[in-house]
Amino acid sequence: MVRKFLPTRIPILYVILSVLVLISVVPMFFYSSQVQSINRDRLITNERLLQNTVTRSVADDISQHQESFRLMQTNLASALQVASGGDLTGDHVQAPELRALLENFVSSSEDLDYATLLNSEAKGISAGRIEPDAFLQRELEQAYAAARDTRAYNGQPLVVGNGKSSHTVMLVSTPVKYRDRFLGMIASVVDLDFLIRRLHEIDGGGLTPYVVDSQGRLVAGATSEYATGQDMTNLEIVHNFVEQGGKAQMVAATREFTAGSGRKSVAMLGTYSPVTNLNWAVVVQKPRSEAYSSVFEMQRTARILALFAIALSIGVGIIAARRITNPLEVLTESSHAIARGDFSQRVQLKSRTEIGELAQTFNFMSEELEHFVEGLKRAAAENRELFMSSIQMLAGAVDEKDPYTRGHSDRVTKYSVLIAKEMGMPEDFLETVRVSAQLHDVGKIGIEDRILKKPGALTAEEFEIMKTHTTKGANILRPVAQLKEMIPGIELHHESLDGRGYPHALKGDEVPMLARIIAVADTFDALTTNRPYQQAHDCEDALRIIHSISGKRLDPTARSNRSRCSSRHLSARRNPCPTHRSNGSQGGCRFQCTRQCRLSAS
């Protein structure tokens, strides 16, 4: 009941005034809080994207460096295996060429401090700029145990040296094998100074970067605040990474957390990205107060601008709304006229504002649309005429190959359309019938003339070749998307309801109606024209023959409609049949035909 009293259309003037009044009474604190919330979300998003980009970049650098070094070590293992001939036992491991390879390997990179080659007896050679201390010796023992199990090994980060000369390193080892037989191990001490330099590059701007291992222990940091090996799980973001375990190795994560406790606690925003091949994580964090420092300034500016906008909108809005809505009403009325198809409609509106320009543009659009629509109609008519003429020429070219079937395609087309009309088919289906029937024998282009023009009956082999004209025709037209609906009539018009037709031996409802209609028309024309293998029948005899095979070969519905079509125009006079007079047969027509038969052939 309420909808009956509601207007069907609300004038835009009322809408504009209502919006302006609503804005003027909205509490400013609500507006400011919304602005603050929006900007806060944007700042958080931007900060998270920045942190994610930074950590992902460092994690990728570490992974690439590790993979590069691992590849160098694998290549060295292959070189040592070749140089030793697969024998590192006893004194063979002390060979000068092996020592040269090891020394060249260490000198090839500034990040390599030490390398050693141990054979299966734990004896070997070494080269480098440092001597392993007790911690490195323990790492070497663990690496050797892993190598005996044919496993590569990535050690824990360690600090070597004292004072200013101290630096962070880690042990990396690779087993040396020959035909799955353990020969020994290559172990290298990698200097992580490259990682610390990379962390220093992103330090600043409030960001604090560092790297932790899978246990939450510090690998490297950009400041001296943290020491290598320090437990960092007291930070929530590191604790989260450790708890996630294997899941954390797949994706990065961003968290808001608190660093410190009590009065010294600081709200932080942090992100970690996993280094999958080392089970490490690159972490950056930043105080939230720095991330949101500009929010309050934005809020104050937003309030001032909002007050000014409200005052201005109320003062000017009433006048402007009326000046805007009047021309819009004129444009709306003209738009409705054009929507109804009246492209002659023009807007009579004079204004020096954009509304006037819009009216001129609207009039120009209307004029162009009017010309364009007319042009489309003419082009559509011309294209259709050209399309049909092209189809007729193509069908005519096929008919000309066989003197006995000259004009056959035109007659089958007219018979097919008459049958479809009698069946009450829609106009679009009639068009499909017309084109499909016109081209139903187009595949005969691919049949040799010796078979098409053979004066006598075809042999079994020749008839098999002749039967391929249906599939050849379908294949000719299949690349043309616009003729897709016509293909069943071309390919299947020789199918039989009892399954004895060709090319696919379809039965009953498997044969589409389009092909059934063309089959009746094709059969009728074949019966009423002279062929090398038969004399033409008159129309009534042809209809009796068609009736006799109805339900077996031909569709009874299409057959009955062809019969009604002929019976409606039955002529009592015996006149020469233009169909047979123009089909290339010798002599005149000896048969009594229907007027419809003569009309269809004309």
Q: How confident is the model over 21-66, as pLDDT tens digits?
A: 676 666 666 766 676 677 777 777 888 888 899 999 999 999 999 9
Same domain, 415 and 557: yes
Q: Closest Cα to residue 113, out of 102, 129, 99? A: 129
Domains identified in the chain, total number:
3
Q: Based on the domain organization, do 110 and 244 belong to the same domain?
A: no
Helix (H, G, I), strand (E, B) or coil at 594: coil
Share of the chain above pLDDT 70, in %: 80
Spatial separation of the C-alpha atoms in residues 439 and 561, rounded to whole Å: 22
What pLDDT sits at residue 533? 66
pLDDT of residue 248: 60
More confident residue, 293 or 126: 126
* Rounded Cα–Cα distance for residues 287 and 292 (Å): 9
Give the confidence band of 412 by pLDDT, cuts at 50, 70, 90.
very high
Tokens of 123: 């004896």
177 and 212 part of one domain: no
Burial class, 459, CB count within 10 angstroms (exposed 0-12 / middle 13-18 / buried 19+): exposed
Q: 188, 211, 240: which is the final residue of a domain? A: 188
pLDDT at 593 over 50: no
C-beta of residue 269 within 8 angstroms of C-beta of residue 285: yes
CA 222 → CA 113, 123, 269, 276, 561, distances in Å?
21, 39, 18, 21, 93
Would you state the structure tokens that stand for residue 281, as one six-digit string?
């994580």
Give mean pLDDT, residues 362-366: 79
One domain, residues 527 and 437: yes
Q: What pLDDT does residue 21 have?
A: 65
Same domain, 443 and 563: yes
How are beta strands 167-178 and 153-154 bridged, if at all? antiparallel
Q: Are 117 and 105 in contact (CB under 8 A)?
A: no
- Angle between the 193-202 and 28-84 helix axes, to the nearest 10 degrees? 160
Is the domain of 182 the same as that of 228? Answer: no
Q: Which of 595, 591, 556, 560 is nearest to 576 (CA)?
A: 591
Task: Look at residue 357 and tell me if it is in a domain.
Answer: no
pLDDT bin (cut points 50, 70, 90) of residue 224 is: confident
Q: Let me know how many helices (H) and strands (E) the chain has, helices first.
A: 21, 11
**Domain termination residue (choose one: 291, 325, 341):** 291
Structure-model confidence comparison of residues 74 and 584, the more confident one: 74
Tokens of 187: 């172990």
> Is the domain of 461 the same as that of 512?
yes
The CATH number for 287's domain is 3.30.450.20
**Domain-located, residue 230:** yes
The tokens describing 386, both together, are 């050209």
Mean residue pLDDT of the chain comes to 80
Highest mean pLDDT among 173-187, 305-319, 393-407: 173-187
240 token code pair: 């989260």
Q: Considering the domain boundaries, does residue 540 fall inside one? A: yes
pLDDT digits (tens, 9 = 90+) for 521-554: 988 888 888 776 677 788 888 888 888 888 778 8
Is 456 part of any domain? yes
Do 445 and 424 lie in a common domain? yes
pLDDT score of 180: 80
At residue 71, the 3 state secondary structure works out as helix
Predicted pLDDT at 503 = 93
Which pLDDT belongs to residue 24? 62
What does 145-160 look like in DSSP terms, one character per residue?
HHHHTT--EE---EEE
185 confidence band (pLDDT: 50, 70, 90): very high
Domain co-membership, 118 together with 212: no
Mean pLDDT of 389-405: 69
pLDDT of residue 589: 36
Q: Which domain holds residue 522?
A: 402-601
The tokens of 110 are what?
């500034």
Q: 164-186: string of b/e by CB count within 10 Å (b at 16+)?
A: eeebbbbbbbbbbbeeeebbbbb
pTM (2 decimals)?
A: 0.47
Picking from 291, 306, 326, the residue at the C-terminal end of a domain is: 291
**Which residues fall within 8 angstroms of residue 66, CB to CB, at 6 or more apart?**
154, 172, 275, 277, 278
Mark whether 577 and 597 lie in a shared domain. Answer: yes
**One domain for residues 472 and 499:** yes
Give the helix ranges, DSSP H, for 85-120: 96-107
* Burial class of residue 148, CB neighbours in 10 A (0-12, 13-18, 19+): middle
